[in-house]
Amino acid sequence: MGALSGRTALVTGGGRGIGRAISERLGRDGARVGVHYGSDETAAKETAAAIEAAGGEAFTLRAALGVPGDAESLWTAFDEQADGLDILVNNAGINKALDGALHPFGEMTRADVERLFAVNATAPYFVIQEGLSRLRDGGRIVNVSTRLTHGAAKSDLIAYAMSKGPIDVLTRSLAKELGPRGITVNAVAPGAVDTDMNAAWLRGGENAEARAATGALSPLGRVANATDIADIMGFLASGDSRWVTGQWIDATGGALL
């Protein structure tokens, strides 16, 4: 039996990148995993299929985040396929402007910034709020933050870093609020991770210099992959992390040193 056998998990944005790695890790550990997606149904179904092929259980659910009624839609879809929750991973997030590009500070519009906050800060707040009636005592909440809330952000990532700052506040505050129920709340803060989101500057021969420079930020001398982050999540989702709560976990490979 896995460490999470008999438990149910929900991973927002669970079909791609770090989210997929988290979903697959929790599935290997025995959890029945709800793989949430906003638009990429194919990726979510592929992730669920991979979990099942490895002997686990999974289901997919769709809900757009960052719009009015998002949390209600998510939990309605969840309730159709599960009865109660043990692990909630708030992973879904965006880092680009509405046109899909990164823009320097002076070129971000109000709509760009408000969209970042809607998806990265407001949505997790209400997903947790609406989900607490389903989260069983002794459960786990893990939020994905970023190293940029504790370190300098480039001009084109200032708004993104700002939108993740509230996640750190939410994590510390909820750890106190939910402690009496035995629920732990932690945040994991990755640095640069080799995923599709970062492919434009981390992959391909023409990006070798940027990749090497990014990897050199860590004393371990490489760029993280998604499983590096997912394995931290596996610990925080398990009973072994029962005495860890309200923490901002540096998942940068020491890049902030």
Residues labelled catalytic? 160
- Name the β-bridge partners of 8: 32
E-strand stretches of 100-247: 135-144, 184-190, 193-194, 224-225
E-strand stretches of 22-99? 32-37, 57-62, 85-90
Q: Tokens 């149904």 label which residue?
A: 41
The CA distances from residue 235 to 31, 133, 142, 229, in Å, are 13, 24, 11, 10
Q: List the alpha helices (DSSP H) in 136-225.
A: 158-178, 199-202, 208-215
3-state percent helix, strand, coil for the chain, nearest multiple of 5: 50, 20, 35
Rounded Cα distance, 100 and 91, in Å: 19
